[in-house]
Amino acid sequence: MADVEPTTGAASDPLWDDWEAPPRRPSSPVLHLDGFDGPMDMLLDLAERQRIDFGRMSILDLAEQFVAAMARLADRVTLEQRADWLVVATRLVLLRSRLLFPDSPEAAATAEQDAAAELRRLKDMVAMRAAGAWLQQRPQLGLDVFVRRPPTVPREGGYVALMEACLVVLRGTEGRPEEAPLYRPAIPDLWRVVDALVRIQLLLVEHPAGGDLAAFLPPVAEEATDRPLRARAAVASTFLAGLELAREGTLTLAQQVPFKTLQLAMAWTVASSASGTTHQTL
């Protein structure tokens, strides 16, 4: 029996060759793009849900592979199914075009700003690479150049050197090299917190009912050139001393109106005043 010539049909396709019966028709053409290998309908689903970086894929490769698949399967797939494939391919091209061209003036302005920022980043990267290359070409310590360290002289001593050192110590400062003077800042002669503590306690012993904060301030000479500074230091030190004594429970601080006169009094006189007993104030 003579061999029967095969029927002339579409171009050779490994998917359909070497089969006695054709396999199941594909539901969608298979694409091989940068970052994706699979059916075209799956690519559309992933792109619409933003589950894949569709912007990195070449629209030219997508179109060429789709046209080749349509030509290869033209006589094996129904017209209705090929029409569905064409709709899917059209939607893919539309999505890809939206990534290339903004759909509103606001999006265009944002894209322009992003592009300018990306250009600035690229310029900075080029500058940093140039600086790194320049530094790399500089002579490096330990590789291209070396430092000559001074030789270390071992310390040698003996009995005579020990006696000389002892003689210097016994003589005291005489014979020793002059030491660098120490920096000792001049402390101004101002009213201190320690002085304010003593003054407040002495005045409260004589006048337990206390008085205004100004009554516990020390006298400041009228002819003093730094009288404003001394007055401010006296007020600050007396106020801090009053807070410290109030914390210890020795006296009480009272102020009837905010930012007005501050009253200082012995702690036990407050309870006496509440019971009706009066005391002399400053």
In the chain, where does DSSP find H-type helix?
A: 40-48, 59-72, 79-100, 105-137, 159-171, 193-206, 227-248, 267-275
Q: At what angle do helices 79-100 and 40-48 cross, to 10 degrees?
A: 40
44-50, long-range: CB < 8 A, 24+ apart: 44/88, 44/91, 44/92, 44/95, 47/92, 47/95, 48/91, 48/95
Amino acid at residue number 160 = V
List, for residues 177-205, the tens digit of each pLDDT value.
Answer: 566 677 777 778 888 999 999 999 888 88
List, for residues 115-145, the tens digit of each pLDDT value.
Answer: 778 778 878 888 888 888 888 888 887 777 7
Q: Which residue has the tokens 């080749």?
A: 68
pLDDT for the residue numbered 240: 92
Which residues share a beta bridge with 141?
A: 145
Provide the percentage of residues in the chain whose pLDDT is more than 70: 77
Total H helices, total E strands in the chain? 8, 5
Question: Residue 10: pLDDT above 50?
Answer: no
Round to whole Å and give the CA distance between 158 and 193.
Answer: 56
Enumerate residues 6+ apart whose C-beta is below 8 A from 141.
147
For 142, the token pair is 């330990």
Which residues share a beta bridge with 211?
A: 264
